[in-house]
Amino acid sequence: DGGITQSPKYLFRKEGQNVTLSCEQNLNHDAMYWYRQDPGQGLRLIYYSQIVNDFQKGDIAEGYSVSREKKESFPLTVTSAQKNPTAFYLCASSMGIRDPNYGYTFGSGTRLTVV
Amino acid sequence: KQEVTQIPAALSVPEGENLVLNCSFTDSAIYNLQWFRQDPGKGLTSLLLIQSSQREQTSGRLNASLDKSSGRSTLYIAASQPGDSATYLCAVSMDSSYKLIFGSGTRLLVRP
């Protein structure tokens, strides 16, 4: 089955530690996105990538970093500079301009907690 | 700056009732609008996508309408079922980058 796989499902981070969240898709989608969701709120865009080896900052990129070395993979690193990282992180992909009627596919999310 | 608002924040209805969820946006120059469903602790499932040139989309018991000029969209759910209980999120894209701007969602409970 085609889809997006996020791992791990739960992640615990100590103060001052960097952690990396994995996102892999086998949908042959060009564009990939990372969103953050806080309790009772909508999603906010962290980073997005429309093509391999290129990515752009979203609305809340500070304290996060990404890479897009392969079309299938878009890992997100939460650095120690992110002061309030506890949240639910969602990865998504889309075919973007290749098929504007298609829409988005989301992963099942990673819940990050600072301990 | 585009802002997306969803009202009400929470809704509880008896099974079988038809219901309407509302979404409003401040900048009418949208590229498209999507409705998503989110179950507790899960990712989002795309329900309907409406292009800026379209007025509505239908899928089964769901119908989404779009009125760009007034900055509004509605999601109509016919004959609601307990399985429809979830949070429904509205999101708009302003260009072909497909970056989405989300509302905070409507939490729906359908009582048996």
DSSP calls for chain A: ---EEEE-SEEEE-TT--EEEEEEE-S--SEEEEEEE-TTS-EEEEEEEEETTEEEE-TT-TTEEE--SBTTB--EEE-TT-S---EEEEEEEE-GGG-TTS-EEE---EEEEE-
Contact A110, A36 (CB under 8 A): no
pLDDT digits (tens, 9 = 90+) for A23-43: 999 999 999 999 999 987 789
Which of left, alpha, beta for A91 (phi over 0: left; psi -120 to 50: alpha)? beta
Cβ distance A101 to B105 less than 8 Å, yes or no, reads no
Determine the pLDDT at residue A16.
Answer: 85
Cβ distance A109 to B43 less than 8 Å, yes or no, reads yes
Residue A69 pLDDT greater than 80, yes or no: yes
pLDDT digits (tens, 9 = 90+) for A71-105: 999 999 999 888 899 999 999 998 876 666 667 89
Q: Any CB–CB contact under 8 A between B53 and chain A?
A: no
Determine the pLDDT at residue A81.
Answer: 87
Query: Which residues in A have their CB inside 8 Å of a CB on B?
Result: 6, 31, 33, 35, 40-45, 48, 50, 56, 58, 88, 90, 92, 94, 96-97, 100-109, 111
pLDDT digits (tens, 9 = 90+) for B16-36: 999 999 999 999 999 899 999
Determine the pLDDT at residue B22.
Answer: 97
- Our measurement of the distance from residue A14's CA atom to the centroid of its chain's CA atoms, rounded to an integer in Å, reads 20
| Alpha carbon of B17: minimum distance to chain A alpha carbons (Å) | 25
Q: Any CB–CB contact under 8 A between B44 and chain A?
A: yes
Determine the pLDDT at residue A111.
Answer: 96
Kindly indicate the confidence band of residue A1, based on its pLDDT and cuts at 50, 70 and 90: low
| Alpha carbon of B38: minimum distance to chain A alpha carbons (Å) | 10
Determine the pLDDT at residue A97.
Answer: 66
Residue A55 pLDDT greater than 70, yes or no: yes
Residues of B in contact with A44 (CB under 8 A): 102
pLDDT digits (tens, 9 = 90+) for B60-108: 999 999 999 999 999 999 999 999 999 999 999 998 777 899 999 999 9
Kindly indicate the confidence band of residue A115, based on its pLDDT and cuts at 50, 70 and 90: confident
Determine the pLDDT at residue B29.
Answer: 93
